[in-house]
């Protein structure tokens, strides 16, 4: 049974079911639009040639609805796509019909974060910078619970909502150990390792978790030292997601920016600017061995 929260205004707010499109669906829609424009057809002309409404074609190209494989085949024939590329796009169309693990779940998060989860699940690499807490993908469960309980004091989340968010955060971490794991490269400010989230046992367990994950070949975590730092000062956490080419279709980098003013996913120029910032931070951070030594030292001297 779905439970709604009642506000003084009388408006009811219920946890929404995630319905964000997968990267596969977005790739397909963007490529179909590119092929149409390449032929010189506008949306109305292409839709009319197939006896469709222009709105149907627009929704497919913008990934607002899924496309049937048979509809994709008709479009590819209309655009006279060569056989090799047609085969790749039909394979992509089949893959785009498969729902992500988040589909149909009550995630108890914002639409912006739902979009980020869908992107993260299909990304090939994640470049993360965190200035206040350990990045979500490398959090231990007790640390995640303590972090989300703290945030819940501001957003007035129920214990049930917090539990759901902890479960979702743990599920997201599967990208680190799946057969084709994401390449995770994180930078954390040294203050993150010193800031008490939960109690000392939670912090010690969290830093031990970091040391375990840092042994994985696809995980690199660097510490930005408090002393001797002369790089750019960034007051907000962000994650840049990269996507490897698939089915002969590229997908742009995306950056998720998390701040008290709200969260949002950006692409193109904004993602490029944050990449430049991340590269500067990366250049001033400790190398992987020195970072591991720093984490181990703080775990033993501060939290053990």
- Give the CATH number for residue 79: 1.10.260.40
Q: How distant is the alpha carbon of residue 6 from its chain centre?
A: 31
Distance CA 116, CA 56 (A): 25
| Stated pTM of the model | 0.84
Residues 175 and 217 in one domain: yes
Q: How many domains does the chain have?
A: 2
Which residues, at least 6 apart from 71, have a Cβ–Cβ distance to it below 8 Å? Answer: 60
Q: Residue 12 — pLDDT band, cuts 50, 70, 90? A: very low
Judged by average pLDDT, the poorest of 102-116, 118-132, 221-235 is 102-116
Full domain range(s) for residue 140: 111-303
* 208 vs 258, residue with greater confidence: 208
Distance CA 233, CA 250 (A): 32
Residues 41 and 181 in one domain: no
Could you say which of 96, 128, 160 is where a domain stops? 96
């Amino acid at each position: 049974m779905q439970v709604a929260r009642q506000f003084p205004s009388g408006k009811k707010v219920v946890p929404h079911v995630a319905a964000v499109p997968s990267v596969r669906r977005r790739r397909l829609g963007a490529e179909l639009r590119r092929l149409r424009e390449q032929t010189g057809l506008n949306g109305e002309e292409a839709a009319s040639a197939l006896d469709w409404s222009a709105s149907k074609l627009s929704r497919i190209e913008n990934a607002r609805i899924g496309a049937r494989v048979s509809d994709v085949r008709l479009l590819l024939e209309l655009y006279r796509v060569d056989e090799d590329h047609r085969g790749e796009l039909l394979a992509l169309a089949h893959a785009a019909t498969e729902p992500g693990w988040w589909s149909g779940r009550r995630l108890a998060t914002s639409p912006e974060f739902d979009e980020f989860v869908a992107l993260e699940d299909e990304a090939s690499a994640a470049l993360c910078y965190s200035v206040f807490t350990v990045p979500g993908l490398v959090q231990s469960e007790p640390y995640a619970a303590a972090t989300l309980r703290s945030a819940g004091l501001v957003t007035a989340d129920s214990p049930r909502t917090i539990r759901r968010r902890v479960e979702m955060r743990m599920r997201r971490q599967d990208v680190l150990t799946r057969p084709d794991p994401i390449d995770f490269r994180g930078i954390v400010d040294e203050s993150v390792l010193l800031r008490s989230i939960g109690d000392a046992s939670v912090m010690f367990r969290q830093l031990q978790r970091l040391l375990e994950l840092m042994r994985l070949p696809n995980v690199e975590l660097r510490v930005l030292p408090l002393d001797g730092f002369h790089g750019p000062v960034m007051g907000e956490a962000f994650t840049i997601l990269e996507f490897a080419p698939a089915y002969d279709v590229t997908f742009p980098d995306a950056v998720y920016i998390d701040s008290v003013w709200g969260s949002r996913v950006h692409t193109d120029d904004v993602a490029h600017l944050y990449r430049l910032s991340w590269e500067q931070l990366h250049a001033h951070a400790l190398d992987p061995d020195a970072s591991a030594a720093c984490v181990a030292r703080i775990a033993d001297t501060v939290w053990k």
